[in-house]
Amino acid sequence: MKNLKNLNVFIYALFLMGLITMVSCTKTGPAGATGATGATGAAGAAGAAGPDSVQYSPWITLVTEVKFFDPYYGDTVLVDTITAPGITASILSSGAIIGYLSASALGDSAIVNVDNENLVNMIQVPQVGKIVLYWFPSDDYTGVQYRYVIIPGNIETTSTSGTGPVSYNPGQLKKMTYPDLDGILKMRTSGNLMPFRQ
């Protein structure tokens, strides 16, 4: 029995020495020198515009696709249909589609909202997947540049004065001048550009 007691004391002593050794020994030493920086990986592809994203087209040169006589107006009507895949039933019910004309190709630097009846004699009819534009020969817009902007609903962005975050609703955005809208959406040459011809 004495041997068994000595064996237990020996095992207990070994266990205690092992525990002390584990606690008192550290496996970390001083930090080594920093290694060289690895090569930068390739940039990932841009993601598609989400359903809640503002989308806009590139500048599109208008053409006369169809001409027909409208007895109501007693005049010929010119028509151009622009493909706008971002226009959905949801956008039509709760968003905004804003069209702009630029006659820069014709030597005029003004950019005007198509809905401005004081300056533009054009009817813009957004439909699911497209925008149909109607105008009369007396105000022929063939060759004029057109851009549309699709806004899904209220958007949170920096204000036109550059301060704040501000929330704009579709009605407010439709009333903005092109420079103001461009200032908050940064539409100049990149972004959520959409295809445009059928």
Is position 14 within any domain? no
In a domain, 43, yes or no: no
- In a domain, residue 22? The reply is no
Question: What angle (nearest 5°) sits at the alpha carbon of residue 157, between those of residues 169 and 83?
Answer: 65
Residue 78 Cα distances to 125, 142, 180, angstroms: 13, 9, 30
d(CA 181, CA 38): 42
Predicted confidence at residue 89, as pLDDT, reads 93
The tokens for 149 are 């902007």
pLDDT of residue 198: 34
Q: What is the number of residues in the chain?
A: 198
The span from the CA of 185 to the CA of 158, in Å, is: 9
Query: 150, 92 in Cβ contact below 8 A?
Result: no
| The residue to which tokens 């534009």 are assigned | 133
pLDDT of residue 167: 77
Does the residue 38 lie in any domain? no
Secondary structure tally for the chain: helices H, strands E: 4, 11
Residue pLDDT tens, the chain, 198 long: 565 565 565 666 555 555 565 555 555 667 778 878 878 877 766 555 444 578 889 999 999 888 888 888 788 899 999 999 999 999 998 888 999 998 775 566 778 888 877 778 888 999 999 999 998 888 888 888 999 999 887 666 656 566 667 777 777 777 877 777 777 776 654 444 444 333
- Residue 1 maps to a domain: no
User: H helices of 80-136, where?
Assistant: 89-94
d(CA 53, CA 156): 11
Asked whether residue 28 is assigned to any structural domain, the reply reads no
Q: Is residue 147 part of a domain?
A: yes
How high is the pLDDT of residue 46?
A: 55
Q: Pick from 90, 73, 102: which is nearest to 129 by CA?
A: 90
Which H or E run contains 100?
strand 96-102
Cβ–Cβ < 8 Å for 152, 53: yes
Q: What gap in Å lies between CA 141 and CA 137, rounded to an integer?
A: 8
Contacts of 132 (CB under 8 A, 6+ apart): 79, 80, 81, 82, 124, 125
Give the count of domains, the chain: 1
Residue 79 maps to a domain: yes
Name residue 193's beta-bridge partners. 56
Domain span including residue 70: 55-185
pTM as predicted: 0.61
